[in-house]
Amino acid sequence: SGRSASRGFPPDISLVPSEVVSLFEKMHSKFNEVVWPNYSSLQLAKTLRAQLVLIEPSKYFEAETYITQERARQYEAEVKNAFAYWAYLGHEGCELPENLVEEDLDDFSASMNMVVESILRTFAQKLNEDEALLERHAADGMEKKKRMLLRQQQLQLLQQKEQENEPNQEESMEQKSEEQGGAQEEEQEKETVGSVSFPGSRQFIREHILNVLRELIARDMGPTIVFSFESEDCGDLVKYVVEQLEEAESRYRKTNEFALYKARIERAAAAQEARRKQRESTLKQKRLTTGDDGDVEVADRDMSDGEGEDELFVVPDVLPEFTFIGDKCTVEPEVVDSLMEDCEKEGEDLLLRALQRGIGMHHAGVKGKLRAHVERLFRGRHCGVIFSTETLALGIHSPCRSVVLAGDHILLNPTQFRQMMGRAGRRGLDYLGHLVFLGITMRRIKRLRQAA
C-alpha cells in the first residue's frame, strides 16, 4: 500500500499553479463536507486533516518572499500525491492503517471514492466549459474576420468607382481625398488585426507589435528596442512590420491625396527648373553687358542665389510617413547609402528593406559587419526601432528611450530582465525610460519585477 500511494499522479499529467490551488480547495471543501463530519473519531481522518493543513497554500509558502518555479513544482507534487492517496483509500480492497470492521472499512472507502469522483467530475466539467469557451471565441473571431473581409471588399469597390468617376478639377480631388481618408484609415486599422489569436502567442505579438510601435512614436517615446529571444521570431517580426509598411504605402500612393501631393511636387520642381533657366539666361546677358572688372563678381553672386534648391522637390522612393527614421537623424545620406550597399552585396534583402524604413535587426544570424552597421544607424537616429535578441542587452552601446519585451521565454530570467530593462533611458537625455510588456502575463511580470 505504501508503494501504491507513493506513485502519485502519472508523470505526464502536469497542472498549472491555478489548477493546483483549485484542486486543494476542492479537496478541503469535500473533506469538511463529507469526511470529517462522519469520521472525525478515526485517527486516519485526523491524519488526513493534518495533511490538508500542511499543504494549505498560505501555510506551505509562509516563509517564501516570492514563489520560485521549483517550489511551485514541489507544491504541485505534494497536492497531487495527497489526492492520489485519497483515490487509493477509495479503492475497494485497500489496506487501512487502523483495525476497522469490514462494514466500517467499506463505508469509509465508499465515502472517499465519492469524494474523489466528485472532484474529478468538477475538473472535467471545468475543462469542458473552457473548451466550449475557446470554441465560441474562435467562432466569433472567424465571424468577425469574415465581416472585416467583406467590409474591405466593399471599400475597394467604392474606391474603384470613385477613381473611375474622378473629376479633373483639383478642388474635387481635394474634397474626395478628405472623404476617402477616414475610410482608408479605418481599413488600415482593421487590416492590422488578423485572424483569431491568443495573448502570448506568436501570432498575437505579430499582430499587435506595429500598433505598439506606432503608439510609442505618437507619444514621442522613441527610439525603441524590441527584444525577442528567438532569432527566427525576431526576423518574423521585422518581416511583418516591413511588409505592413510597404503595403500601407502602396495603398496610399493610389489615393487622391497622394496624387495631389505628387502634382504639387511636380509643379514646384517645374517652377524651380524655370527659375534656374531664367537665372542662367540673365547671367549670360550680364556677362555680355558687364565690364571686365565686375562681371565675374556679379555672376558668382547671381549663381549663389539658386544654391540649395537642387533636388528639393522630388517624391522620395520611400515616403517618410511610412518609416521609423528619426527626425533628428545625424547620419549623412551618403553614409546610409554606403551601408545599404553592403547589405545588398551580402544578399540581405530583408535587412535592406528594413533599413530603408528605419528598422534595424540585430541577432546572431546577422553577420557581424552588418550588425555593426545597424548599431551605427541606431545611434545616429536613422533607425527609430531595432528588433534584437539578447545580443543587444549587454556590452553594446545602443541607448534607447523605450524597451519592448515581445513575448515570454524560458531564458527571460531576472538577470536578463535587469539588463534589458536597463537599456530604457538614455543617460543625460531622458529623465526616465519606458518598458512595455507585450504578450506576457501579469503574474509573470510581477515575478520579474520582484526578482529584479
Q: Are 48 and 35 in contact (CB under 8 A)?
A: yes
Domain boundary, last residue among 114, 132, 150 = 132
Rg of the chain (C-alpha set): 34
Q: Which domain holds residue 348?
A: 320-451
Task: With respect to residue 402, please indicate whether it lies within any of the assigned structural domains.
Answer: yes
CA–CA gap between residue 298 and residue 300 (Å, rounded): 5
Per-residue exposure over 260-291, b if at least 16 CB sit within 10 Å of its own CB, e if not: ebeeeeeeebeebeeeeeeeeeebeeeeeeee
Whether residue 285 lies inside any domain: the answer is no
Residue 418 domain flag: yes
Assess if residue 220 is contained within a domain: no
Q: State how far the Cα of 349 lies from the Cα of 371, in Å rounded to an integer.
A: 14
Q: Which of 89, 107, 132 is the last residue of a domain?
A: 132
Task: Please check whether residue 189 lies inside any domain of the structure.
Answer: no
The residues with which 385 forms a beta bridge, in sequence order, are 224, 359
Query: For position 452, what pLDDT does the model report?
Result: 62
C-alpha to C-alpha distance for 64 and 75, rounded to whole angstroms = 13
Query: What's the pLDDT score for residue 137?
Result: 64
How many Cα atoms sit within 13 Å of 417 on the Cβ side? 20
Task: Tell me the C-alpha distance between 46 and 38, whole Å.
Answer: 12
In a domain, 94, yes or no: yes
- Which residue in the block uniquely carries the three cell numbers 520579474? 448
Last residue of a domain, one of 110, 132, 154: 132
Residue 330 is part of a domain; what is its CATH number? 3.40.50.300
Give, for all 452 residues of the chain, the pLDDT tens digit: 333 343 445 555 677 788 888 889 989 998 999 889 988 888 888 889 999 999 999 889 888 877 888 888 899 889 988 988 888 888 766 666 656 655 667 788 888 888 888 888 887 776 666 666 666 666 666 677 677 777 777 777 777 777 666 555 545 555 555 555 555 555 554 444 444 556 667 888 888 899 999 888 888 888 899 998 888 888 899 999 999 999 999 998 898 988 898 888 888 888 888 888 888 877 777 665 555 555 555 444 444 555 555 556 777 888 888 988 877 788 888 888 888 888 888 888 898 899 989 998 888 888 888 888 888 888 888 888 999 888 776 656 777 889 999 888 888 888 888 888 888 877 767 778 889 999 888 888 888 887 76
Q: Number of structural domains, the chain?
A: 2
Q: Please report whether residue 257 resides in a domain.
A: no
Q: Domain for residue 271, yes or no?
A: no
The grid coordinates of residue 338 equal: 554606403
Cβ neighbors of 151 (< 8 A, separation 6 or more) are 187, 190
Query: From the CB of residue 98, how many other CB atoms can be counted at a distance below 10 Å?
Result: 12
> According to the model, what pLDDT value does residue 437 have?
92
Is the CB of residue 327 less than 8 Å from the CB of residue 338? no
